[in-house]
């Protein structure tokens, strides 16, 4: 077993135009001051990171690492959540997701998709240049509008959607294989990969691709009322990234999982800062450690009640408290008799 790395923090929810959130150097100083040891960088935010330069220049990547190291930080992973979303967009969401693309591509879904694919290919090379083992993204969605089967779904609709989704992602997965980096899909409602079953459907159509892996975020499973601990038992070999994000689900006589179109604060299921919700993080850290999880514990702050500043300040010590220093031996090693195979056979009455 190995000790989970951390605490890390995902910078996407904190980046902004005001200091200290408007440059990598200043946000790194802020994060380090709160006790974080790593940062997960959103590739779409030019205030923090230049994806194309990182893909083309190891010197630039050395600069990035040096800037962070000056504050005692490392890059945990890069993120292309927004670009990955655009690899597969159902027409019902064209307008909503246009804002994720450069302005010149808005209203041009095919050009937008091609740009998104190129962004992922750049991310594979950038991750390799940074010496990273994993990268996180969204799968996008073609079948999501048909999640609830009313009217009845035509036969083959979902299968066709997943075949197309896999066809779009297979060349990208191959690029990550070439780069030696795991591509981790955040299993997330709104994406076609939103639970274990859908991940399996996709993985099968990708030929059990070795680079097809996942980011584990228990908040999304709690809100779906999915057993997130058994999920680790089932899929730990494919879990290569971990977001520490909490949630609570408090159904009433008026609303449940679907939330009644309410704001996040007024939904039965809502995201919370770590420790304020219902996720059993002690059990999660134990299981991930047991299964030799190789990555970082990274705070993703999303809370409809608590401020980001307070959530970030509380996040590092929360993660630190939950990281388990993996045992180097068995607890009962002191009682070992040092028996050999011949002695084992005698103990079993075989000699």
pLDDT in tens, 77-118: 999 999 999 999 999 999 999 999 999 999 999 999 999 999
- DSSP lists the bridge partners of residue 241 as 215
CB 15 within 8 A of CB 81: no
Domain ranges in the chain are: 5-347
Least confidently predicted of 138-147, 157-166, 302-311, 321-330: 321-330
Q: Which residues contact 292 (CB under 8 A, 6 or more apart)?
A: 1, 2
Q: Is residue 339 predicted with pLDDT exceeding 90?
A: no
Q: Is residue 51 predicted with pLDDT exceeding 70?
A: yes
Q: Which residues contact 208 (CB under 8 A, 6 or more apart)?
A: none
How much is the average pLDDT of 305-332?
Answer: 90
Q: What is the pLDDT of residue 329?
A: 67
**In the numeric block, which tokens belong to residue 306?**
């608590």
CB 46 within 8 A of CB 58: no
Read off the DSSP letter of residue 20. Answer: T
Q: What is the pLDDT of residue 1?
A: 86
> What is the per-residue pLDDT across 222-269, written as a single tens digit (0 to 9) for each?
999 999 999 999 999 999 999 999 999 999 999 999 999 999 999 999
Q: What percent of the chain has pLDDT over 90?
A: 93
Q: Is residue 323 predicted with pLDDT exceeding 70?
A: yes
Q: What is the pLDDT of residue 256?
A: 96
3 state DSSP class of 289: helix
214 alpha-carbon distance from chain centroid:
7
pTM for the model: 0.94
Q: Is residue 331 predicted with pLDDT exceeding 60?
A: no
Instruction: Give the HSE-up count for residue 205: Cα atoms under 13 Å, Cβ half-sphere.
Output: 20
Q: Beta-strand (E) ranges in the chain?
A: 5-10, 38-42, 74-80, 134-137, 182-186, 212-216, 239-244, 246-249, 269-272, 296-299
How much is the average pLDDT of 184-206?
Answer: 98
Q: What is the pLDDT of residue 340?
A: 84
Instruction: Give the HSE-up count for residue 95: Cα atoms under 13 Å, Cβ half-sphere.
Output: 1
Q: Is residue 183 predicted with pLDDT exceeding 60?
A: yes
CB 249 within 8 A of CB 278: yes
Categorize the per-residue pLDDT at 335 as very low, low, confident or very high, splitting at 50, 70 and 90: low
In this structure, whether the domain defined by 5-347 belongs to CATH 3.40.1160.10 is answered with no
Q: Is residue 291 predicted with pLDDT exceeding 70?
A: yes
Least confidently predicted of 6-15, 301-310, 342-351: 342-351
Angle at 194 between CA 191 and CA 199, to 5 degrees: 105
Q: What is the pLDDT of residue 332?
A: 62
**In the numeric block, which tokens belong to residue 90?**
């159902």
Q: What is the pLDDT of residue 191?
A: 98
């Amino acid at each position: 077993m190995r000790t989970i790395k951390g605490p890390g923090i995902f910078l996407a929810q904190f980046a902004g135009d005001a200091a200290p959130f408007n440059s990598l150097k200043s946000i790194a100083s802020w994060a380090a001051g709160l006790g974080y040891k790593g940062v997960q960088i959103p590739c779409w935010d030019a205030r923090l990171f230049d994806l194309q330069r990182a893909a083309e220049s190891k010197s630039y990547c050395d600069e990035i690492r040096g800037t962070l190291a000056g504050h005692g930080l490392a890059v945990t992973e890069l993120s292309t959540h927004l670009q990955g979303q655009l690899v597969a967009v159902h027409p019902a969401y064209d307008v909503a997701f246009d804002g994720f693309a450069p302005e010149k591509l808005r209203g041009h879904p095919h050009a937008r998709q091609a740009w998104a694919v190129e962004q992922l290919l750049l991310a594979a090379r950038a991750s390799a240049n940074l010496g990273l083992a994993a990268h996180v993204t969204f799968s996008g969605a073609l079948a999501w509008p048909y999640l609830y089967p009313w009217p009845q779904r035509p036969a083959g609709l979902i299968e066709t959607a997943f075949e197309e989704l896999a066809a779009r992602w297979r060349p990208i997965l191959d690029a990550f294989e070439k780069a030696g980096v795991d591509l981790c899909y955040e299993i997330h409602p709104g994406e076609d990969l939103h639970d274990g079953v859908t991940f399996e459907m996709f993985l099968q159509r990708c030929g059990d691709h070795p680079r097809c892996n996942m980011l584990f975020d228990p908040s999304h499973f709690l809100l779906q009322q999915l057993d997130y601990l058994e999920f680790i038992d089932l899929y730990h070999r494919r879990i290569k990234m971990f977001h520490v994000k909490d949630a609570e689900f408090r159904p009433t006589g008026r609303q449940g999982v679907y939330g009644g179109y309410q704001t996040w604060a007024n939904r039965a299921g809502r995201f919370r800062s770590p420790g304020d919700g219902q996720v059993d993080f002690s059990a999660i850290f134990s299981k991930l450690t047991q299964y030799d999880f190789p990555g970082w514990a990274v705070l993703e702050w999303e809370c409809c009640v608590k401020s980001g500043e307070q959530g970030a300040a509380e996040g590092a010590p929360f993660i630190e408290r939950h990281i388990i220093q993996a045992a180097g031996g068995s607890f009962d090693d002191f009682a070992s008799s040092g028996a050999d195979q011949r002695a084992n056979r005698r103990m079993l009455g075989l000699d």
